[in-house]
Amino acid sequence: MQDLEIKSSPFIRLILLLIYVQFIVQTNQIINGQSAADRFDITYVKIDVVTRLGQNFMIFGWENDADCKYEIYRGSSISPTHWEKIAELPPLDDPRRSYFLPIQRDRSVQFVYIKQIEDVGGGEGSPTTEAPMTIPELELEMMPIPAGKFVMGSPAGEKDRDDDEGPQTTVIISKPFWLGKTEVTQAQWKAVMGSDPSYWKGNYLPVERVTWFDAMAFCEKLNAMKGDSLFAGYRYTLPTEAQWEYACRAGTSTRFHYGDDPDYSQLEKYAWYAGNCPSKTHTVAARTPNGWGLHDMHGNVWEWCLDWFGDYTGGSVSDPLGPSNGQDRVIRGGGWNFRADYSRSAYRNYYWTDAPYDSLGFRIALSPVHVE
């Protein structure tokens, strides 16, 4: 672990907390570490919201400076040589910030501080290093997706671009969420719903021939199964189109999450598509994941999104939900029997909400409750 040198600076403010992990239940059990901050000769900022989320996480919030990024550190003692950076949060145009802290059950005490740093430019999103969570009954791993900002859609000069990929729109994802590491498999579907509607059979193949309504019914049954352990304000659902593209890109702005690949020569390493699997679906997670640990965001089966299909607004928006009504729902990611350019990060498509298809499945999100 690299030693950290902590210095006072007009551009840096630190939040220091002493957290007794085994006994955190209420806000007043979070002790603001003023004496510890005094030892470092630093200025600390009060965290004003602390919420316990089940047995594994807690969330704390603070007033945000939109021109600053934040680094979150955790340590086993108050000595600065014991600090470990566990997350970076990019600048966010919002009055509030929050962070999900995984609780380390093998430690009775955690020291945590947040360093606020004036932004000097750089990327538009960095993943946190929060641990993934697992739905044990389904053996389904959910990957943490950080809050952040990205440009949705494709530039006018992108190769094989479609007109509906613009105007490019700056999107703020104001709260972190979790997204399935893989598309929902047939074994996972059967564990929740019973029968298997898929044409291509195999426990570890993605479930397909599910309508949008079927996918939403799966999420609702999963919410009922896991109701006692859901995080406050979060539910299992389909990702919004903005969440899907943000997670697919994983901080990139290229045609694919691994690069531009103008001749599609690298795509077979990351996706099942017509060029390398023209006959059927394939086992999930058999291709290389993106930078945030998500498999098959390019190819294998198309994936339902929550939104109605519609035009982008342009400009800057926060947590868009798409049109309030429409005829078809968004599908993303391309499929095993479709050409390579359909798998691009910005490529959009749509499908009837009540029609099954053997190249159409979904992955689930654990997402903040959406209010229209």
Indicate whether 41 pLDDT > 50: no
Q: What is the mean pLDDT of the chain?
A: 81
Is the predicted pLDDT of residue 30 greater than 50, yes or no? no
Per CATH, domain 133-368 is 3.90.1580.10: yes
First to last CA, the chain: 45
**Amino acid identity at 170:** T
Instruction: Give me the mean pLDDT over the 240-253 stretch.
Output: 97
Query: Does the structure show a pLDDT above 70 at 77?
Result: no
Residue 145: closest CA among 116, 112, 168, 178: 178
Range with the lowest mean pLDDT among 128-142, 212-226, 263-277?
Answer: 128-142
Residue 62 has pLDDT above 80, yes or no: no
Instruction: Evaluate if residue 343 carries a pLDDT over 80.
Output: yes
pLDDT of residue 156: 96
Which of 9-23, 127-141, 220-234, 244-258 holds the top average pLDDT? 244-258
Domain 12-118 has CATH 2.60.40: yes
pLDDT at 261 over 50: yes
Q: What is the phi/psi pair of residue 242, to 5°?
A: -65, -45
Report the pLDDT value the prediction gives residue 87, as an integer from 0 to 100.
67
Distance between CA 288 and CA 296 in Å, rounded? 8
Q: Which residues lie across from 51 on neighbouring strands?
A: 59
Would the pLDDT of 3 be above 80? no
DSSP per-residue codes, 153-203: S--TTSTT--GGG-S-EEEEE-S-EEEESSPPBHHHHHHHHSS---SS--T
pLDDT recorded at residue 102: 64
Contacts for 116-121: CB closer than 8 Å, 24+ residues apart: 116/12, 116/13, 116/14, 116/15, 116/45, 116/65, 116/68, 116/69, 116/70, 117/11, 117/12, 117/68, 117/69, 117/70, 117/71, 118/11, 118/67, 118/68, 119/67, 119/68, 119/69, 119/90, 119/91
Give me the pLDDT at residue 51, please: 61
Q: What is the DSSP letter of 242?
A: H
Confidence bin at 180 (pLDDT 50/70/90): very high
Domains of the chain, by residue range, sit at 12-118, 133-368
pTM of the model: 0.67
Give residue 2's pLDDT: 35
Q: Does residue 43 register a pLDDT over 90?
A: no
pLDDT the model gives residue 109: 54
For residue range 110-146, what is the model confidence (pLDDT) as tens digits?
A: 667 677 776 544 333 333 436 789 999 999 999 999 9
